[in-house]
A = this chain, B = another copy of it.
Amino acid sequence: METQKKIGILGGGQLGRMLLQEAANYPVETWVMENDPGCPAAHLCDSFVLGDIRDRDAVLAFGRKLDALTIEIENVNIDALFQLEREGIRIIPRPSALQTIKDKILQKKFYLEKSIPTSPFHILQSKDELNHHIGFLPAVQKLGTGGYDGKGVQLLHKQEDLHKGFDAPSVLEKMVELQKEIAVTVAINEKGETAVYPAVEMIFDPYLNLLDYQLCPADIPETTGWKAEAIALTVARDLGSPGIFAVELFIDRAGDVWVNETAPRVHNSGHHTIEAHFSSQFDMLWRILMGYPLGNTKAIQPSIMVNVLGSEGHSGAAHYEGLEEVLAMEQAFVHLYGKRETKPGRKMGHVTILGKDKQELLFQANKVKRTLKVVTRG
């Protein structure tokens, strides 16, 4: 019997879940490792392995069963990935690219070294050093490692904010006077062929630093789009690895484009591609993992995506208030990640809306945001 390829994912969250929904279109044997048997991806794979993705031996044992391995979160044991790569297992993204991105200090140095436009920065080893950079404020301090989903990022507007700073190796970045924040997702296969998704425009919650909604295509001048695309392609190519790379970019008041940061994997900024594009980011990653041709990144229709986050003040068994109203919206696609427990700001799902008119999309997105709440039953 012809053997199906065995492909594994480190991490079993919603990105894994959506990867596995797409995997079911292909002849592939899927494996997932995560330390929570009730995680969103656990029941959608051929083989679920309970284990800590940060543990070297666990990742080695898992990877040795596979033909190829990918990640859905950066926080994995990278030594094990280097070892598995030496043993001939295809790791996508390559451990070298993951290593560069995983540590925000190395990531910033990489942009500098490759002449990729990024905001000015200082590298700090401890909190004390903040005092040497008072003239550099307003700035954003980012932990070198361990930050995720808005954690590990601290806005420092003025001297009085410095007490909030992190006392650990970090990057202190000059705050860019933002006009817009956009993201460009790039796919690269093992032959070095690339495909680029249209830029999306992102709007963040000012408190949680979590994505509120995102519009595709971004409402930016054509030339700005070209710049962003060229920069994103450079980032992805210079990382020297096949994979999906979500490049987050700032557009400043002058219209200049700067890289904020890159994720070497499927990413929140690409969720709309499931319904709005011919090949979704999840489909695309399987194509790369399987050695198939790259997919078509074109949009079928413009779209807007709203994250569904746990409401403030609610921790416990999740209840979706207003779900029926949103399900009745004509052009909305609802994705709930099956997490049984909600907590404030937790990513519980997302809703994508298709439509040809930007104002209509914004109206519908706001309706979703006002209507759908993740709460605990009172």
Which residue numbers of A lie inside 8 Å of B, CB to CB?
A: 1-2, 4, 17-18, 20-21, 24-28, 30, 43-46, 278, 287, 292-293, 295-296, 298, 300-301, 316-320, 323-324, 327-328, 330-331, 333-336, 338, 340-341, 354, 377
Contact = CB atoms under 8 A, between A and B. Distances in A.
A331 B318 CA distance: 38
Given A4-B340, A354-B300, A278 B331 contact: yes
Contacts of A24: 17-18, 20-21, 44, 338
| Protomer copies | 2
Contacts of A17: 24
Nearest to A24: B21
A296 B292 CA distance: 33
A320 to B, nearest CB: 7
A377 B44 contact: no
Nearest to A325: B293
Given A293-B327, A331-B296, A377 B340 contact: no
A123 to B, nearest CB: 42
A351 to B, nearest CB: 10
A336 B44 contact: no
Contacts of A28: 338
Contacts of A301: 300
A25 B331 contact: no
B43 A317 contact: no
A334 B199 CA distance: 25
A296 B330 contact: yes
A334 B340 CA distance: 32
A7 to B, nearest CB: 13
A327 B2 contact: no
B20 A327 contact: no
A16 to B, nearest CB: 11
B45 A292 contact: no
A354 B338 CA distance: 30
A27 B320 contact: yes
Contacts of A1: 316-317, 340-341
Contacts of A20: 24, 44
Given A24-B44, A300-B354, 9 more contacts: A2-B340, A20-B44, A21-B21, A27-B338, A43-B45, A43-B46, A278-B330, A292-B323, A296-B330
A106 to B, nearest CB: 35
A242 B210 CA distance: 40
Contacts of A327: 287, 292-293, 295
A21 B23 CA distance: 9
